[in-house]
Amino acid sequence: MRELIIDLDAVAANLATMRARVGKALVLGVVKANAYGHGMIQVARKLEAAGVDYLGVADIDEALELREASIDLPILAWLHDPQQNFVRAVDAGIELGVANIAQVEAIAKAAEHLGRVARIHLKIDTGLGRNGASEQQWPQLLQTVHGLVAEGFVQVVGIFSHLSCTTEADDLAQIVRFDKAVEQARAAGVEFELRHLTASDGSIKYPQAHYEMVRIGVALYGLSPFEENSAADFNLRPAMTATAKVSLVKRVEAGEGVSYGYLHRTVSQSTLALIAVGYAEGLPRAASGKAKVSIKGKTYDVNSRVAMDQFVLDVGNDSVKAGDLVTIFGDPASGVPSADDLAAACGTINYEIVTRMGGRFKRSYLGEEV
Ligand SMILES: *Cc1c(COP(=O)(O)O)cnc(C)c1O
């Protein structure tokens, strides 16, 4: 009845496109949040086969799920519970982002308990004002880490930060602060192999800031990180197509109200087509009266209210039948609305659209690694 079609070959092609952009830098593929709604395990397996260097997730639980699926790549997890127990993560060889002294002490404790060396990446907040140590906390953190390295509990693999991508001037200021934090680490005797700063946007915009690794999320899914550019501008191909079959059609008279609140009334005798996708599936209610969908190459306005389970299209006198395929979004190269179009209609960004797709959608995969 409803299907998210995930083209994993597009993901692999997008990886190759981004790799060509970033030259020698390693590529960490970001697969957090169920790979932005695309299916974490399937995407991770495809990226592994396509030669990605690292995987990145927010939560340790996501990283453990990847390990349970026998994915052996280096995995970095960077967002932790304040009372996080790191034993399972260290035992599974998950690399851990560190934002403060409490975290690295808890990680060292887990490593000591296991008789292993924990691999960590120190995160400096260079101006996003989000995760990571502040510039004030940084020297103390370095000192603590230096001691724990000497005791043999932790190994610093990398130093990282994240750009705000507000203005170019703001980003360049963050790059300067990042370089300074790296220098401070060296001066404190903390050794590491990888500096990584840029996500999809910064990796495209600032070739001077690729360092030894880049962290690529949205671009792998074939979406543009910039609202003012389409994915095609960067040779990226959208991997997700959201489709459903028309569940039923019926003829109604002129002047009939359609769906909650009667945002729409028929102006003449019309065919109404019911589609079993609602906000429970991630089609925002804000799409009501704003979005467009495609049936057999023709686009229709979603002019009535999106409900929890369904929405209705007034298709006039077109010969739309039960069972016809409706494309809610996909690759605009094939003439259908894009995730960017739906995002613009709903006042949000493509990231949020694909990440929240789910509910009762079934995912099916093209190009799956088995
Ligand atoms: C989500 C995330 C990324 C990936 O960002 P994209 O814009 O999707 O490429 C990279 N780094 C961190 C720290 C993140 O949280």
Same domain assignment for residues 216 and 250: no
Q: Report the 3 state secondary structure along 91-160.
A: HCCCEEEECCHHHHHHHHHHHHHHCCCEEEEEEECCCCCCCCECCCCHHHHHHHHHHHHHCCCEEEEEEE
Question: Do 348 and 251 share a structural domain?
Answer: yes
Which of 159, 192, 221 terminates a domain? The answer is 221
CATH number of the domain residue 139 falls in: 3.20.20.10
Residue 235 forms part of a structural domain? no
% of residues, the chain, pLDDT over 70: 100
DSSP 275-293: E---GGGT--GGGTTT-EE
Question: Are 264 and 175 within one domain?
Answer: no
Structural domain includes residue 231: no
Considering the domain architecture, whether residues 267 and 194 belong to the same structural domain is answered as no
Q: Which residue has the tokens 């006039």?
A: 316
Domain boundary among 221, 255, 284: 221
- Residue-wise pLDDT tens digits, 136-176: 999 999 999 999 999 999 999 999 999 999 999 999 999 99
Task: Give 316 Cα–ligand 1 centroid separation in angstroms.
Answer: 43
Q: Using a 6 Å cutoff on CB, does residue 199 contact ligand 1?
A: yes
- What are all long-range contacts of 222-229, with beta carbons under 8 Å and residues at least 24 apart? 222/10, 222/11, 222/14, 222/331, 223/339, 223/340, 223/350, 223/351, 223/354, 224/340, 224/350, 225/165, 225/199, 225/200, 225/201, 226/201, 227/340, 227/349
Query: Tokens 């489709």 belong to which residue?
Result: 243
Residue 58: beta bridge partners? none
97 Cβ closer than 6 Å to some ligand 1 atom = no
290 plus 189 within the same structural domain: no
162 lines ligand 1 (CB under 6 A): yes
Is 30 close to ligand 1, i.e. is its CB under 6 Å away? Answer: yes
Q: Which of 52, 37, 67, 38 is nearest to 366 (CA)?
A: 38
Sequence-separated (6 or more) residues with CB below 8 Å from residue 70: none
Ligand 1 atom nearest the C-alpha of 215 is: 10
Which of 221, 251, 281 represents a domain boundary (last residue)?
221
Q: Are residues 207 and 72 in the same domain?
A: yes
**230 occurs within a structural domain:** no
Residue nearest to atom 13 of ligand 1 (CA): 162
Do 295 and 178 reside in the same domain of the chain? no
Would you say residue 60 lies in a domain? yes
According to DSSP, the residues that pair with 156 across neighbouring strands are 120
Q: Which domain holds residue 77?
A: 8-221
Q: Cα(222) to centroid of ligand 1, in Å?
A: 14
Nearest CA owner, ligand 1 atom 4:
217
Domain assignment of residue 114, yes or no: yes
| 278 located within any domain | yes
Q: How far is the CA of 275 from the centre of ligand 1 (A)?
A: 33
Helix axes 101-114, 138-150, angle to 10 degrees: 10
pLDDT in tens, 328-343: 999 999 999 999 999 9
The per-residue pLDDT for range 230-274, each reduced to its tens digit, is 999 999 999 999 999 999 999 999 999 999 999 999 999 999 999
Quote the CA–CA distance of 230 and 337 in Å, as a whole number: 12
The Cα 15–Cα 19 span in angstroms is 6
Residue 243 pairs in a beta bridge with 3, 327
Cβ of 218 below 6 Å from ligand 1: yes
**Mean pLDDT score of the chain, rounded to an integer?**
98
In a domain, 61, yes or no: yes
44 and 112 assigned to the same domain: yes
Q: Is the CB of 216 under 6 A from ligand 1?
A: yes
**What confidence score (pLDDT) does residue 280 get?**
98
pLDDT computed for residue 186 by the predictor? 98
The answer to whether the CB of 54 falls within 8 A of the CB of 26 is yes
pLDDT tens for 292-307 read 999 999 999 999 999 9
Q: How confident is the model at residue 88 (pLDDT cuts 50, 70, 90)?
A: very high
Residue 143 belongs to some domain of the structure: yes
Q: How would you class 195 by CB atoms within 10 Å of its CB: exposed for 0-12, middle for 13-18, buried for 19 or more?
A: buried
Predicted local confidence at residue 370, as pLDDT: 82
Q: What is the mean pLDDT of residues 99-128?
A: 98
- Model confidence pLDDT, tens digit, residues 15-69: 999 999 999 999 999 999 999 999 999 999 999 999 999 999 999 999 999 999 9
CATH code of 281's domain: 2.40.37.10
Considering the domain architecture, whether residues 214 and 245 belong to the same structural domain is answered as no
Nearest of 185, 125, 186, 194 to residue 161 by alpha carbon: 125
pLDDT tens across 256-266, in order? 999 999 999 99
**Active-site residue list:** 32, 260
**How many domains are there within the chain?**
2
Whether pTM > 0.85 for this model: the answer is yes
Tell me if 239 sits within 8 A of 7, measured CB to CB. Answer: yes
Do 257 and 112 share a structural domain? no
Closest-CA residue, ligand 1 atom 6, reads 217
Kindly tell me if the per-residue pLDDT of 104 is higher than 90: yes
- Say whether both 200 and 248 belong to one domain: no
